[in-house]
């Protein structure tokens, strides 16, 4: 496997690609570069088979589309949403995940394992196929998450699980959201949500709708979940510049754009009422 040698090397190909694009998008790139500069304080794993699995797990979640083409049906990597290698509070961090599961999930209507939760994101957020629950790849991802949850995370505590809790009594205005999208998001994510490619089938700036985006069964396709992500994490370099209402409006705009369907979403929430924003 190439490029797994340097543990912190995950951002390097990204940075090269950014430099090539720099004539086009200089202001946006400067902001992204400054956010990458605050690289996560993930300790170097030990030598030996477990360390190798942790390194491989990190490579799989940061370069998911390129490394697992049979399991990824869109243009995304796990860490396009689980930011900073899964260590960013309010971006659904993975610190502590191994202890949190098995857990009851209302969407599934039963107690599920961490493997099943990871596969939910493979099938929905990545619009792809589940990994074998006992495959080397799954075990590598689990090893990486356990590393983050124990001695591997040398940074500050990551207090927040999941996403910020939005007030679900708020009313979204997708028309206002379209205007926010054009001024605050389109320069990176494209006028038609198509993102900006890296020339190798992946993306420098990931798409927000269309064939290479997450599907209708994904948590990010729900406008309150998407708003919570955007409120705390976007636009990159200007995080926190949107009000909760603006984040909700822009989320209502981009979640409603065309994207792949996920037929099994019709079986979601078997024992409880579907949330208002579920698709």
Residues contributing to the site for ligand HEC (CB under 6 A): 28, 31-32, 61, 64, 76, 78-83, 92, 94, 97, 117-118, 121-122, 125-126, 141, 161-162, 184-185, 187-189, 205-208, 214, 218-220, 225-226, 229-230, 234-237, 250, 254
Considering the complex, what minimum distance in angstroms separates the CB of residue 121 from ligand HEC? 3
Considering the complex, what minimum distance in angstroms separates the CB of residue 147 from ligand HEC? 14
Shorter beta-carbon distance to ligand HEC: residue 51 or 161: 161
Considering the complex, what minimum distance in angstroms separates the CB of residue 94 from ligand HEC? 6
Considering the complex, what minimum distance in angstroms separates the CB of residue 72 from ligand HEC? 7
Omega cis (within 30) before 235: yes
Alpha-carbon distance of 60 to 49, in angstroms, equals: 16
Contact (CB, 8 A) for 217 and 264: yes
Q: Name the DSSP letter for residue 136.
A: H
Shorter beta-carbon distance to ligand HEC: residue 48 or 226: 226
Shorter beta-carbon distance to ligand HEC: residue 47 or 90: 90
Shorter beta-carbon distance to ligand HEC: residue 28 or 48: 28
* φ/ψ of residue 221, rounded to 5: -80, -5
Contact (CB, 8 A) for 122 and 129: yes
Shorter beta-carbon distance to ligand HEC: residue 45 or 214: 214
Alpha-carbon distance of 279 to 273, in angstroms, equals: 12
């Amino acid at each position: 496997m190439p490029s797994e040698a340097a543990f912190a090397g995950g951002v390097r190909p990204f940075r090269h690609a950014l430099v090539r694009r720099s004539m086009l998008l200089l202001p946006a790139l400067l902001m992204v570069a400054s956010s990458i500069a605050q690289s996560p304080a993930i300790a170097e794993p030990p030598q030996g088979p477990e360390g190798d699995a942790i390194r491989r797990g990190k490579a799989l979640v940061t370069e998911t589309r390129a490394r697992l083409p049979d399991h990824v049906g869109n243009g995304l990597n796990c860490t396009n949403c689980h930011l900073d290698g899964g260590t960013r509070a309010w971006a659904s961090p993975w610190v502590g995940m191994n202890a949190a599961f098995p857990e009851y999930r209302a969407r599934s209507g039963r107690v599920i394992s961490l493997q099943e939760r990871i596969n939910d994101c493979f099938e929905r957020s990545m619009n792809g196929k589940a990994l074998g629950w006992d495959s080397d790849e799954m075990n590598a991802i689990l090893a990486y998450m356990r590393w983050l949850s124990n001695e591997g995370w040398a940074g500050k505590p990551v207090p927040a699980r999941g996403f910020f809790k939005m007030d679900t009594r708020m009313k979204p205005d997708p028309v206002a959201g379209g205007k926010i999208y054009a001024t605050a998001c389109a320069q990176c994510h494209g006028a038609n949500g198509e993102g900006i490619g890296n020339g190798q089938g992946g993306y420098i700036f990931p798409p927000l709708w269309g064939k290479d985006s997450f599907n209708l069964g994904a948590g990010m396709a729900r406008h309150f979940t998407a708003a919570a992500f955007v409120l705390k994490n976007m636009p990159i370099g200007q995080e926190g510049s949107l009000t909760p209402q603006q984040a909700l409006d822009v989320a209502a705009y981009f979640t409603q754009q065309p994207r792949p369907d996920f037929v099994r979403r019709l079986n979601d929430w078997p024992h409880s009422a579907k949330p208002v924003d579920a698709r």
